[in-house]
Amino acid sequence: MERFESHYEPTEQYKERAVFLIPIDKIRVAEKQTRKVSRDKIERHKQRLLKHDDDLLPIDAHELEDNTFIIDGNGRHRFFAYKELEYTSVPLNIKGREGFQPTKVKKRRRAA
């Protein structure tokens, strides 16, 4: 995988993550996330890409056992913007496989 160089200063949150350019056909969006897509947000990201060329933050994703990647929460609008502009690869912050839970975990209430 090709290393992605960003002009952004890494925050504490991203310092330990590896950012790579991943072929767009290896990336998936969870079905539940595809139902909540805003055309307006996609268009704004597309305009930003066209104006600033690759000036979007990398997308958080988990690597799956079949060597594909699934977007972790936020990032679907950026992904669809890249896809509609026919990019061949997308910068991903790869979180790894450990601890990945594709469904949302509900918080437990404390006992009274």
* CATH topology classification for 2-94: 3.90.1530
**Residue bearing tokens 């000036």:** 55
Average pLDDT estimate for 60-78: 87
Dihedral of alpha carbons 35, 13, 40, 83, sign? negative
Model confidence at 35, pLDDT cuts 50, 70, 90, reads confident
CB 73 within 8 A of CB 31: no
Average pLDDT estimate for 8-32: 72
- In the chain, the amino acid numbered 108 is R
Q: What is the pLDDT of residue 104?
A: 43
Model confidence at 106, pLDDT cuts 50, 70, 90, reads very low
Q: What is the pLDDT of residue 16?
A: 59
Domain edges within the chain: 2-94
Q: What is the pLDDT of residue 55?
A: 64
